[in-house]
Amino acid sequence: MFISKFAAIAATSLIVAAVPAAAAVPAAAAVNLVTNGGFETTTYTASSQIGGSFGQGVTGWTASGFNLLFIGGTQTTVSAANQYSDPLTYFRTGVTTDTLGTGGNFVALDGDTGIHGPLSQTITGLVAGKGYNVTFDWAASQLRNRTGATTEQLAVTFGGVTQSTAIINNPSAGFQPWRSVSFYFVPTSTSAVLSFLSNGTPAGAPPIALLDNISVAAVPEPATWALLMTGFGMVGYAARRRRPGVVAA
pLDDT digit string (tens) for 38-59? 999 999 887 888 988 889 999 9
Residue 224 lies in a domain: no
Local structure of 240: helix, strand or coil: helix
Residue 38 lies in a domain: yes
Handedness of CA 59, 60, 65, 67 (dihedral sign): negative
Residue range(s) defining the domain that contains residue 215: 33-219
The CATH number linked to 104 is 2.60.120.260
- Report the distance separating Cα 105 and Cα 70, nearest Å: 6
- Report the distance separating Cα 20 and Cα 232, nearest Å: 10
Quote the pLDDT of residue 95: 77
Residue 183 lies in a domain: yes
Residue 28 lies in a domain: no
Residue 231 lies in a domain: no
Residue 86 lies in a domain: yes
Number of domains in the chain: 1
DSSP secondary structure code for residue 22 in this structure: H
- Report the distance separating Cα 89 and Cα 144, nearest Å: 8
Residue 98 lies in a domain: yes
Residue 17 lies in a domain: no
Local structure of 238: helix, strand or coil: helix
pLDDT tier at 78 (50, 70, 90 boundaries)? very low
Average pLDDT of the residues in 168-172: 94
Residue 32: pLDDT over 60:
yes
Among 141-145, 171-175, 182-186, name the one with the lowest average pLDDT: 141-145
pLDDT tens by residue, 192-222: 999 999 999 998 878 999 999 999 999 987 7
Predicted TM-score (pTM) of the model is 0.75
Note whether 207 and 150 are within 8 A (CB).
yes
